Amino acid sequence: MAETSTTTSFINGSSSIASLAADHLFTILLLLPMDSILSFAMTCKKFRYLATSDILWESVCRRDWGNTAVDALKSSFHDDEQRRLIPWIRLYKQVSRVDSVCCYKLAEPDPDLVLPVPRASHSLNFVSGCLVLFGGGYEGAVIVSFEFSKISTNSIICLTLVGYLENHIHDMKNTAFYGASSGFGFSKMISELFELLLPLGRDLDDTWAVYIGNNSQNMLKWQKIQTGTPSGRFGHTCVVIENYLVLFGGINERGDRHSDTWLGQVSLHENLGISLSWQLLDVGSTSPPPRGAHAACCISSRKMVIHGGIGLNGVRLDDTWIIELSENRCYGTWRKIVSHPSPPARSGHSLTCIGETQTILFGGRGLGYEVLNDIWVLHVTEGYSKWVQIFYELQNIPAGVSLPRVGHSATSIIGGRLLIHGGEDSLRHRKDDFWVLDISHISLEKMHPTRLNSKRMLANKWRRLKPEGYKPGCRSFHRACVDDSGRYLYVFGGMVDGLLQPAEPVGLRFDGELFLVELVLQL
């Protein structure tokens, strides 16, 4: 009887959802994913009006993309009239279905301008409306290393590989073949050689900046900033935490690994232009071991995570560390994360924070010098951290055989997705492709590696984007960052020229090009 009474009252509308106030429905809809909101809109005219309203979908965009991205996207429109002609629901759908990018070359070389020298394994960040470039390695210097004892047990080979590398590429080839004749594989030896000393050349300690603001496609004028610190290095990481830069580790031209942590702050001056101040962060007695070629990303307003890299004596690392900055940014505290299972040791991989809860690790070169394509997600909450591996099958992805890579860039873009560009495979073929990975709505707790449908569902989350416009060359060990909108990606430098042949100088060229990648939205 009670059931009949409840049903009757629901039909009469006294207890139905139709009796809820519009602001209550609005709050409920903001808890639902896009497909559920659209399904709700199909129930009746009243609900359709609310569930497709511009005010609701702007709130959905802010929920899923963040206020910073939405505000930056709004300011990128030419005027308010253009913005009003594009409903937020349409914009949301376009972002979720983006399938192409358009590249632009931002500036032609000008002999009257002073530009950053070509480089690789540097850092590039978008902070306070500016691009900030620091360090890296470039051609033409002495590199001395003691790591070659890890390549071969033959002391003669170790000694001949130490010293001047510029203009001695053929001598290096002969040495490598001597090593192969002693029972050590040539390709494996060369692979480790380039991993340890990539990029071959001098370390750089210069800092460059250029103001972008909201004008993403303007001709840019670099400004060299005199800071004096940190010391020259490549293979370091530098991430943005609020309006600060946090730099860790790296390798210098002598092969020394660093374990120092630096905090940088950018300032804009009407007359003086851009300035950058660095300070060595006080981290107490606990810090990660020295390393380079590791990966890092910001995971909250005061935290950064690092993983892996190449440590002392050329050993690849598999450890995970998190630093938390103090509220006044005067010091930081490192702690090691212990999780089982966890990603195997690697270098040249990427770590990218998607939203506020998921940090994605992808690719890199493993202990056996193999190039990887595995995906791991790090969950960090107060007092609890856990790595979860995402399983998928390459054969279920169109062109997925090209996915394994090292030295790529992986950037969080608008919509909570991961944009992967470039890198190189196990044969050292460099790449120029763009891939999007979307795991934003996957419940990792429900995924099981033995379920075939789970692997297929994850494979569908990969999408290769069609490139339009300017055609940048294939590259690896470049750097990329997005502006505040998450729609515009800036790429600088790297190793270029396709197949890397250690015996041929043409295979060792560094790039100094800056280009822009725009996510194409059919508005």
Q: What is the pLDDT of residues 281-319, one digit of tens each?
A: 999 999 999 999 999 999 988 999 999 999 998 899 999
Q: Within this chain, do residues 358 and 379 fall inside the same structural domain, yes or no?
A: yes
Whole-number pLDDT of residue 44: 85
φ, ψ of residue 361 to 5 degrees: the values are -105, 135
pLDDT in tens, 408-426: 999 999 998 999 999 999 8
CA end-to-end distance (rounded Å), the chain: 55
Q: How many domains does the chain have?
A: 3
Q: Which amino acid is at 233?
A: R
The set of residues, in sequence order, having a beta carbon less than 8 Å from that of 281 and lying 6+ positions away, is: 246, 261, 262, 263, 325, 331, 332
User: Has residue 378 been placed in a domain?
Assistant: yes
Distance CA 13, CA 372 (A): 58
Q: Which amino acid is at 59?
A: S
Q: Look at residue 219 and tell me whether its pLDDT is greater than 90.
A: no
Domain boundary among 195, 210, 231: 195
User: Has residue 58 been placed in a domain?
Assistant: no
Distance of CA 517 to the CA centre of its chain: 14
User: Has residue 25 been placed in a domain?
Assistant: yes
The proportion of the chain whose per-residue pLDDT surpasses 90, expressed as a percent, equals 51
The set of residues, in sequence order, having a beta carbon less than 8 Å from that of 222 and lying 6+ positions away, is: 113, 114, 115, 116, 133, 208, 209, 210
The set of residues, in sequence order, having a beta carbon less than 8 Å from that of 474 and lying 6+ positions away, is: 422, 429, 430, 431, 432, 496, 497, 498
Q: Which residue has the higher pLDDT, 189 or 478?
A: 478
The set of residues, in sequence order, having a beta carbon less than 8 Å from that of 442 and lying 6+ positions away, is: 390, 457, 458, 461
Whole-number pLDDT of residue 17: 76
Q: Give me the mean pLDDT over the 11-30 stretch.
A: 76
Distance CA 407, CA 293 (A): 9
Whole-number pLDDT of residue 247: 98
The chain-wide mean pLDDT, for the chain, equals: 81
Q: Which amino acid is at 419?
A: L
Q: Within this chain, do residues 5 and 136 fall inside the same structural domain, yes or no?
A: no
Q: Within this chain, do residues 173 and 322 fall inside the same structural domain, yes or no?
A: no
Whole-number pLDDT of residue 295: 98
User: Has residue 254 been placed in a domain?
Assistant: yes
Give the least confident one: 115-124, 290-299, 491-500. 491-500
Q: Give me the mean pLDDT over the 452-467 stretch.
A: 74
Specify the pTM.
0.84
Q: Look at residue 469 and tell me whether its pLDDT is greater than 70.
A: yes
Whole-number pLDDT of residue 269: 83
Q: Within this chain, do residues 137 and 174 fall inside the same structural domain, yes or no?
A: no
Give the least confident one: 11-15, 332-336, 425-429. 11-15
Q: Give me the mean pLDDT over the 166-193 stretch.
A: 37
| Sequence-ordered strand ranges (E) for 95-143 | 100-105, 123-127, 130-134, 137-138, 142-143
Q: Name the residue among 462, 457, 415 with its Cα closest to residue 440.
A: 415
Give the least confident one: 162-176, 432-446, 452-466. 162-176
Residue 2 carries which DSSP code?
H
Task: Name the residue range of residue 164's domain.
Answer: 146-195
Task: State whether residue 421 is helix, strand or coil.
Answer: strand
Burial of 113 from C-beta contacts in 10 A (0-12 / 13-18 / 19+): exposed
Q: Which residue has the higher pLDDT, 3 or 348?
A: 348
Q: Which ranges of 330-486 does DSSP label H, i.e. alpha helix?
A: 452-459
User: Has residue 226 been placed in a domain?
Assistant: yes
Q: Within this chain, do residues 166 and 287 fall inside the same structural domain, yes or no?
A: no
Distance CA 481, CA 123 (A): 9
Residue pair 151/184 in contact (Cβ under 8 Å)? The answer is yes
Q: Give me the mean pLDDT over the 271-279 stretch.
A: 87
Q: Name the residue among 162, 235, 309 with its Cα closest to residue 495.
A: 235
Q: Look at residue 10 and tell me whether its pLDDT is greater than 50.
A: no
Residues in the chain, how many? 523
Q: Look at residue 80 and tell me whether its pLDDT is greater than 80.
A: no
User: Has residue 422 been placed in a domain?
Assistant: yes
The proportion of the chain whose per-residue pLDDT surpasses 70, expressed as a percent, equals 76
Distance of CA 428 to the CA centre of its chain: 20
Q: Give me the mean pLDDT over the 211-222 stretch.
A: 73
Q: Name the residue among 448, 411, 407, 397 with its Cα closest to residue 428.
A: 407
Q: Look at residue 25 and tell me whether its pLDDT is greater than 70.
A: yes
Q: Within this chain, do residues 209 and 178 fall inside the same structural domain, yes or no?
A: no
Q: Within this chain, do residues 335 and 478 fall inside the same structural domain, yes or no?
A: yes
Whole-number pLDDT of residue 72: 87
Q: Which ranges of 30-168 does DSSP label H, i.e. alpha helix?
A: 34-41, 45-51, 54-65, 67-76, 80-84, 88-96, 155-160
Q: Within this chain, do residues 262 and 310 fall inside the same structural domain, yes or no?
A: yes
Distance CA 309, CA 36 (A): 42
148, HSE (Cβ side, Cα atoms, 13 Å): 24
Q: Give me the mean pLDDT over the 441-454 stretch.
A: 52
Residue 395 carries which DSSP code?
G
Q: Within this chain, do residues 310 and 433 fall inside the same structural domain, yes or no?
A: yes
Q: Which amino acid is at 157?
A: I
Q: Within this chain, do residues 313 and 421 fall inside the same structural domain, yes or no?
A: yes
Q: Which amino acid is at 520?
A: V
Residue pair 232/247 in contact (Cβ under 8 Å)? The answer is no
pLDDT in tens, 335-372: 999 999 999 999 999 999 987 778 999 999 999 999 99
Q: Within this chain, do residues 402 and 341 fall inside the same structural domain, yes or no?
A: yes
Q: Within this chain, do residues 123 and 239 fall inside the same structural domain, yes or no?
A: yes
Whole-number pLDDT of residue 268: 87
Distance CA 447, CA 59 (A): 30
User: Has residue 239 been placed in a domain?
Assistant: yes
Q: Look at residue 160 and tell me whether its pLDDT is greater than 60.
A: no
